[in-house]
Amino acid sequence: MLVSCGDNLALRLAGPDDLAALIDFNTRIFDERITDWAADLAGGRHPTVQTCDFTVVEDLRDKKIVSSVCLISQTWQYDGIPFQVGRPELVATDPDYRRRGLVRKQFEAIHARSAAKGELLQVITGVDWFYRQFGYEMGVKLWGSRCVNGMDVPKLKEGETEVYHLRPATSGDHEFIRDVYDQAARGQLFAALRSPEEWDYEFTGRSKANTRRREWLVLADSEGERLGYVQYLACLPLPHLPLFRISQVELKVGVGYLNVMPSLLRGLWEKAQAMYASGELPCREIHGLELALERDHPLYRAIPKNLVRDLKPSPWYIRIPDMIAFLSKIRPALEGHLVGTVAEGYNGELKLNFFRSGIQLVFDSGRISAIEKWQPGEAWQGDARFPDASFLELVCGWRRFEEMSESFADCWGTHEAAVLLDCLFPPFHGKVWVLA
């Protein structure tokens, strides 16, 4: 594969001989915090990424890499239905070569590679708005952070002893962590799944300085029974960040957050202070805890509101290139969503107008008998209308139909269509732990 980009620039897939140059390029464009992550991805440590999953644009005159993108393949599930996902990452261009369409050309190549792998959805974070140019739309919240200042962490009362304790996880806890994670994922609309090899990579495979590396603590009672786990960021991505970031808190079935919350916060704050004192958290000061969990995590409800403050959540930008294929894949889940709602047993057609194209769903007693292309002849036709890629926001549970019609003046639907769409696509307030 060699595609001309003009002006002696050529796009191709990276090869083994590019490894050192790829790592050096990403370090130079980002900084040294990216070095080990790029090395793990390009160097063969990552279970789903090879060097050839990077595209590069090379300046043929100087034989140097001037732009690059990586594709991280993974498996997600929608309401229990697994499907393949591609995650573009490390999108970088040398400042002297920007605004030449190099990222666009690479995204065309990355999207084609993702499609060849059978991936129905692409997901990315990064620069606001930028990825909308390539068919992405805000779809899923990255996380919904709450912060707790160290001074507000509940104190033990006089004469009181700690009932629950946090300890570092060992290899003997890995199966327990996997089981608790899988239990939580089964209750989520969207969740990322991991193969045994991907779990091994998460536990022990990443380089120590890889800023995507996570560590685990196990929550246990006074008798040592394991009740849940905590995942935390082992090395801060931003040295000036004065907060200890917690990425996951999950308890096994039958354990309530209200009881464990005070001990959990105290244990996390003690861990943060110890890591700060030892230099493991290379920040100038440590103020408190950042609970970077899903928007409606039960721990938030267990903490008194006056002790926490919100941080604005970041979005995932989602791309679904073939909406008919995706809806067909998750058809059993959509039919299941109607059960127990006002749309149970629905009969009829639902025509969705995307202005340049459209989709028709046909329902027979609550079953979806057809999901097919429909071409609107006029802008006003159809049962519901969605501008640009806004339909993604509904599909991914970001917004309800009424919210969308208020945000987009050209988003419209009949009453029946609005009710049916909200039943088909329930809200999602969770967090997807993507493979990085």
Residue with the bigger pLDDT between 269 and 143: it is 269
Sheet architecture: strand order including 348-353: 367-373, 358-364, 348-353, 384-385, 412-413
| Number of structural domains in the chain | 3
For residue 139, what pLDDT is reported? 87
Q: Would you say residue 57 has pLDDT above 60?
A: yes
> Residue 184 sits in which domain range?
146-310
Q: Is residue 41 part of a domain?
A: yes
Q: Is residue 138 part of a domain?
A: no
- What's the whole-number mean pLDDT along residues 348-373? 98
Q: What is the CATH number of the domain that holds 109?
A: 3.40.630.30
Q: Is residue 338 part of a domain?
A: yes
Q: Would you say residue 236 has pLDDT above 70?
A: no
Q: Would you say residue 381 has pLDDT above 90?
A: yes
The CA-to-CA distance between both ends of the chain, in Å, stands at 26
Are both 49 and 117 inside the same structural domain?
Answer: yes
Q: Would you say residue 49 has pLDDT above 70?
A: yes
Of 105, 112, 52, 51, give the one whose Cα is nearest residue 86.
Answer: 112
pLDDT digits (tens, 9 = 90+) for 200-234: 999 999 999 999 999 999 999 999 999 999 999 98
Q: Would you say residue 410 has pLDDT above 70?
A: yes
Q: Is residue 135 part of a domain?
A: no
Q: Would you say residue 237 has pLDDT above 60?
A: no
Please, which residues have CB within 8 angstroms of residue 159's CB and are 6 or more apart in sequence? none
pLDDT digits (tens, 9 = 90+) for 289-342: 999 998 889 999 999 999 888 877 677 999 999 999 999 999 999 999 999 999
Are both 109 and 14 inside the same structural domain?
Answer: yes
Q: Would you say residue 394 has pLDDT above 80?
A: yes
- What's the whole-number mean pLDDT along residues 16-27? 97
Are both 284 and 335 inside the same structural domain?
Answer: no
- What's the whole-number mean pLDDT along residues 77-95? 98
For residue 377, what pLDDT is reported? 96
Are both 240 and 354 inside the same structural domain?
Answer: no
For residue 128, what pLDDT is reported? 87
For residue 310, what pLDDT is reported? 84
Q: Give the separation between CA 207 and CA 220, rounded to whole angstroms.
A: 28
Are both 287 and 185 inside the same structural domain?
Answer: yes
Q: What is the CATH number of the domain that holds 398?
A: 3.30.1050.10
Burial of 7 from C-beta contacts in 10 A (0-12 / 13-18 / 19+): exposed
Q: Would you say residue 144 has pLDDT above 80?
A: no
Per-residue tokens: 196:
């045994």
Please, which residues have CB within 8 angstroms of residue 428's CB and are 6 or more apart in sequence? 140, 188, 189, 190, 396, 397, 398
- What's the whole-number mean pLDDT along residues 133-142? 87
Are both 253 and 172 inside the same structural domain?
Answer: yes
- What's the whole-number mean pLDDT along residues 57-86? 98
For residue 290, what pLDDT is reported? 93
Q: Is residue 431 part of a domain?
A: no
- What's the whole-number mean pLDDT along residues 153-182? 96
pLDDT band at 238 (very low <50, low <70, confident <90, very high): low
Are both 55 and 106 inside the same structural domain?
Answer: yes
Q: Are 255 and 301 in contact (CB under 8 A)?
A: no
- What's the whole-number mean pLDDT along residues 64-92? 98
Q: Would you say residue 390 has pLDDT above 80?
A: yes
Share of the chain above pLDDT 70, in %: 98
Evaluate the CA torsion angle 272, 278, 282, 284 in order and state its sign: positive
For residue 105, what pLDDT is reported? 98
Q: What does the mean pLDDT of the chain come to?
A: 95
Are both 96 and 234 inside the same structural domain?
Answer: no
